[in-house]
Structure formats: C-alpha cells, structure tokens
Amino acid sequence: MTDADDMRSGTRVIHGGQRPEPVTGAILPPIFTAATYVQEAPGQHKGFEYTRSHNPTRYALERKVAALERTSVTEAEDPSGGGFAFASGMAATGTVLELIDRGDRMVAMDDLYGGTRRLFSQVRQRSQGLDVHFADLSVNERFAEVMTADTRLVWVETPTNPMMKIADLAAIAEIARAGNPDVLLVCDNTFATPLHQRPLEHGFDITLHSSTKYLNGHSDVVGGVVVVKNAALAERVRFLQNAIGSVMGPFDAYMTLRGIKTLDVRMERHNRNAERISHFLESHEAVERVLYPGLTDHPGHQLARRQMDGFGGMVTFFIRGDLESTNRFLGALRLFQLAESLGAVESLVNHPAIMTHASVPAATRAELGISDSMVRLSVGIEDGDDLIEDLDRALAALK
C-alpha cells in the first residue's frame, strides 16, 4: 500500500500510513509488546532500540493520524511521519508545552477543555513560570489585542468546549505571524477530528488530539496524538517524546488504530444525529438556547461551513430552569449516560459546571457562560429516533 497523496479521508482512515507486516504479510500490524530489541553488535540494530523510543505498533498509529492531518512530513524525514502518540491527551499537551521555555508568554483560548486550563494555570504557571493570557480567540480583534511580539505559543480549541465557539484558524495564523513570525501555533483538534478540520492546512504548526475521544471512539482507551507540520518540529517533538517518556503503550495504539478505521462512518452518523437533535431541542419549549455550529443562527455557522467538513456530534444547550430542574432532566434520561468524556459510540450527557469544568473557578465559569442549567451532549451513533425520544421524555419530566 502506498501513501498516495490523493487518498480521500474515508480511505486514509483505513489505509493511511499502513502496510502489511514485512515478515509474515499480516494485513494488520502485530502488537509488539517487547520493551527492548536485540542488537547484532553494539549500535547495530534495525532502527529499534527500546520501546519508549521506538515501537512499530505505535508508529503505525502515529503514521495514520499524521496522514489524516495531511502533514508534509515524510517517513524519510521522520520514522512515524510527524505523528506522535502519548499516554493521554494531557500527556500530549504537557509534552508540547516543553517546546517553549521557562517564563515564556503564551496566549490561549478562554473556553478550553477544563484539564488543559488546569495544566496551564495551576501547574505550568507555577513550575515553568509560563505567562498565560486567556482570551476569546473566536473574535479576531480580541486575539489581535493580546498577540504580542514576545508571544511564543498560541493554543486554540475550535469548536470550543463547552460553548461551541468557532475560531478562524487561518485568520489567527495570519495575525499571530504578523506579531511574531516564530510563534508556535497549536490547535487542539479533538472536537473536530481530522476528517472535519485540518489545522495544518490553515497555517498551524501542531495539531493535537485526545484520542480517547473520536479517534478511538469506543470509550476503552485513554490516549493523545500530536501531529507536526514539518521535519524540524518532528525532530524536536520526537526528542521530547522520548526524553519525557509519556508514550502510548502498544495495546492502546493497536486499539486506537482499530477504532480509527470506522472514524469516517462514525462521524457521518454523529453528524446526522447531532443535527437532528439540535433542531429538535431548538424547537422545544423547555429549552432556552442551543449551541451547535450546524444551526444557521450560531454565530460561528458561516465560518464553520468554510473551515470544517462537518459540524460534529457535540451539542450544548440550556434548560429553562435552575440546577434542580436540570438535575431532574439528567435523572430522567435513559439512553444518554451521565458521564465525563465524549466522542464515543454511546451517547453521553455531561453537566459542565459540576463535572468536566468543575476545576474552572466559579467566577471564570460565570464569565464564560457555563451556568447551572447548561447541559452538554456527546451524541452517539445509536438510532437517532431513540435518542430524540429519550430527550423528549426527560424534557417532559420538567413540567
């Protein structure tokens, strides 16, 4: 199998970065569990020395995600083609932050995954002295105000979690490079997946995933993947991945590889179900407001149409009522399971204020609009009629 540049994403999820195992011809990469590799003479080996540094199963996953994100890095330049897999999304995030230095200034989206915000402001601000400035990067003027010549890194999420704001990646890249041509641009692409959005094509340097979510998609692996745009960055991230050592294990890499093969068909159903559900909720009297980029009244709708190839499976909405009625609604759901995480085949419901975003200070939550009546759905791939019936029944419990 060649990595033909012209493969579409729906083909890349299956064939991208993959080839039969050379010894047996096995159509799938075996799970190489060995921690170390035998050398013929000191320093004479087949390119594999120790599994933290090199693992063929992990490489297979890394190459696939790199192919999906359309990096320009080739396998001649980097053995895993510019993709790097980590033990979790946070491990990937932590490693990327090591690309900048003690005391450096960075700008980040204000509405971030709670754990990312926690790492920035409760860990790295202390241990690395990072000078982190949060701003609403879905408004280009806000970003232009905080982007300075000494800003070393910009961290974007789009769509954001849980407000579903859309940031203009190409515009951010242009404003950022005008401020500092050497700034590192990172996009957490977890919500969109590389099928819907490819930040490297918009001028970003790094795209990052919690592969725990859509990439693996089956709620049975925690992991993270980073893809970089060029060979120079690949060399730096490869060094850090090995030096820090928060790598993904071979079993998890295999599971994630298996999950990704259905990413395209899963996303089709996620999108369809979420679009139907957003319309259903929008027209329901017990619902105050729905945030979904596929709705024409969403402030980022036109931008999302241009920048993304699908609106995704995440829907946020506000119940007409208080914490007590929201709890009543959550308790009445049967199919939507109350759980953290997102992006898997089963539908999940989350109460951001108490669950995923509890680590965000209450004042910041209020500023961002994360209220007690906010509910976030990760719409799964079940039959959409069943999902709508479940929501309808639970909303009826509010009367």
Ligand X SMILES: *Cc1c(COP(=O)(O)O)cnc(C)c1O
Closest contact distance (angstroms) between CB of 47 and ligand X is 29
- Enumerate helices (H) and strands (E) in the chain, giving the number of each: 15, 12
Cα gap 197→190, rounded to integer Å: 10
Catalytic one among 78, 104, 136, 188?
188
Closer to ligand X by CB, 94 or 179: give it: 94
Give the residue with the Cβ less far from ligand X, 3 or 346: 346
The DSSP string of 190-218 is: TTTHHHH--GGGGT-SEEEEETTTTTT-S
Under the binding rule (CB under 6 A), the answer on residue 188 touching ligand X is: yes
Distance CA 231, CA 222 (A): 27
Residue span binding ligand X (CB under 6 A) among the ranges 122-130, 142-150, 207-215, 257-265:
207-215
What secondary structure does DSSP assign to 32-61, as a single string? ---SB---SBTTBSSS--BTTT--HHHHHH
Q: Decide: is 113 part of the binding site for ligand X (CB under 6 A).
A: yes
Q: How far is the CB of 112 from ligand X (least distance, A)?
A: 8
Residue 292 falls in the annotated catalytic set: no
C-beta closer to ligand X: residue 269 or 376? 376
In the complex, the smallest distance separating the C-beta of residue 188 from ligand X, rounded to whole angstroms, is 5
Q: Which of 70, 213, 269, 365 is catalytic?
A: 213
* CA 87/CA 342 separation, integer angstroms: 17
**8-state DSSP, 351:** -
Kindly list the distances between the CA atom of residue 143 and the CA atoms of 110, 133, 203, in Å, as whole numbers in the listed order: 11, 10, 16
222 is an interface residue for ligand X by CB under 6 A: yes
Residues in the chain: 399
Of the pair 94, 384, the CB lying nearest ligand X is at 94
Query: Among 18, 207, 210, 378, which residue interacts with ligand X (rule: CB under 6 A)?
Result: 210
CB 228 within 8 A of CB 357: no
3-class SS at 108? strand
Q: Which stretch binds ligand X (CB under 6 A): 24-32, 94-102, 205-213, 318-326?
A: 205-213
In the complex with ligand X, which residue's Cβ is closer, 82 or 114?
Answer: 114
Q: Which helix (H) or strand (E) holds 362?
A: helix 362-368
261 is catalytic: no
Count CB atoms within 10 A of the CB of residue 366. 12
Contact set for ligand X, span 138-157 (CB under 6 A): 157
Site string for ligand X, 85-104 (x = CB under 6 A): ---xxx--------------
Mark 303-342 with x for binding to ligand X (rule: CB under 6 A) and - for no binding: ----------------------------------------
Distance CA 161, CA 113 (A): 6
113 is catalytic: yes
Catalytic residue among 113, 214, 254, 292: 113
**Is 137 one of the binding residues for ligand X (CB under 6 A)?**
no
The CB-of-52 to ligand X minimum distance in angstroms stands at 19
Asked if residue 113 lies in contact with residue 188, where contact means CB atoms within 8 angstroms, the answer is: yes
190 near ligand X (CB under 6 A): yes
User: Looking at this protein, which amino acid is placed at residue 357?
Assistant: H
The answer to whether 224 contacts ligand X (rule: CB under 6 A) is yes
Instruction: Report the chain's terminal Cα–Cα distance, integer Å.
Output: 58
Give SS3 for 185.
Answer: strand
> What are residue 185's DSSP bridge partners?
154
Residue 287 near ligand X by CB under 6 A: no
The neighbouring-strand residues paired with 188 are 157, 208
Query: Which one, of 8, 6, 32, 18, lies nearest residue 61 by Cα?
Result: 18
- Which stretch in 59-67, 183-191, 230-238, 279-287 sits in contact with ligand X by CB under 6 A? 183-191
Catalytic (active site) residue 390: no
Considering CB under 6 A, how many residues would be counted as binding ligand X? 16
Q: Are 329 and 395 in contact (CB under 8 A)?
A: yes
Query: How many whole angstroms separate alpha carbon 190 and alpha carbon 67?
Result: 16
Cβ proximity to ligand X, 80 vs 210, nearer residue: 210
Q: Which is nearer to ligand X, 282 or 340 (CB)?
A: 340
Contact stretch for ligand X (CB under 6 A) within 43-51, 112-120, 170-178, 276-284: 112-120
Residues that are catalytic: 52, 113, 188, 213
List residues near ligand X by CB under 6 A.
Answer: 88-90, 113, 115-116, 157, 161, 188, 190-191, 210, 212-213, 222, 224
